[in-house]
Amino acid sequence: MTTHDRGHEFLHCLLPTLEGMAGRSFRNSVIDPKLFDAFFYITIALYLRVFGYVEDTLGWVLSVSTLAVMIVTWHRWKRAPQSSPVTAVFFTLASTVGFILIGNLLGMAMLWLALTQLIFSVNSRWAWGYLFLLSASTFVLHAVVGGNVIRGVWEATAMALLMACGLNFALLLKGAVQLDEERANAYAKLQHQLEQSQDLAINEERARIASTLHDGLGHKLTAVCMSLDYVAKTMSTRPERALEETRIARDLTSEAIDDMRKVVRAMNPIAIDNNPLTTIRTLADSFSTTSLKVSFESDVEALSEEQALLALRFAQEALTNVVRHSDATEIHMSLRSGSPIEFRIRDNGHVVGDISPGFGLRSLRDRAAELGASLAFDTSSGFTLSLTLPQVEVVA
């Protein structure tokens, strides 16, 4: 568990779900391309029945040309369904000719595919217009040319209903694809936000480390160098004073090493034990040094998994802030049962100026609010940070 901002953890949890739902293209988002191709080639197989009735050269040329146009335009359209209006129109024309050549309802599958292409590549108005045109043509063919108005009405109605079924299927498919694209866009945006959040957290952590090293370790090492320079100048003339300065340099070196260990402990992750209270105690021990005493006491028997994780992050954030920004020498952590449960961390450092929650504490406050908990601090005596957790029934 790192000590920088954890606000992007929500994105880490959400991204895999969106990634599983988000499609990358028409070919893999809604329907398996092999199944879609299978439907198309079943349609072509039905169309091949035409060749059993062809008796002249013109009929063969028309049948073969229609077949070739349908196959070529189908595969061209399938590569980019939403940017191929011309291809969709040619496929629709070829499908219409094929339906006429078949001369029965077996060719309806071609018209459904044509409607699908019009919906995806042009717009629904073209698809509705195509439905109306075929229905009207059917009526004209039977009522006017055939002289049977009643049959014309029935045939036109049947054509309209069958075409409406295909149109509704195409609209449902288009809606599913659009939903899939929205999920893909949401995934891409969240992925971009995650990358930005990670960059921000890394840059902030680098700035914190640099500030800690400069203000603590850097100043002490500079003082050590000055002491050693003074020793070199006064060793022959004032050996007693030089020896005293050597002791000062040694003490400063020990403090610098202690500071370095604090920074390293604050940066290192903590292994999470099966018992979260044991993990918090281990965390407290890891921050204890010769210049910083950390104690922890608790009468809480168990916490929920979410509360335990929040309490652990709360403890690490509080301890890290003390190491980086406070001159405290003692930190007392207490976790008390009750309704609500209270986790209080108090140090004996000095607070200078106004206190405002940093990036890490803001993230913890937001996470606490999600669990019905609250975060507060007090500066009347040292610095006290409190986390209140609602009492819940848990399995110990």
189-248 pLDDT, tens digit per residue, is 888 887 887 777 677 767 767 776 676 677 778 888 888 888 888 888 888 888 888 888
**Average pLDDT taken over every residue of the chain:** 78
Domain definitions of the chain by residue range: 9-192, 210-264, 270-389
In terms of Cα–Cα distance, which of 263, 172, 185 is closest to 217?
263
- Predicted structure pTM score: 0.48
Query: Which pairs from 225-229 meet CB under 8 Å and 24+ separation?
Result: 227/252
Per-residue pLDDT tens digits for 9-37: 444 444 454 444 444 444 444 456 677 78
- Report the topology of domain 270-389: Heat Shock Protein 90 (3.30.565)
For residue 99, what are its two tokens? 């339906």
In terms of Cα–Cα distance, which of 278, 254, 274, 364 is closest to 320?
364
In terms of Cα–Cα distance, which of 143, 174, 178 is closest to 157?
143
pLDDT of 303 higher than 50: yes
- Give the gyration radius of the chain's Cα atoms: 38
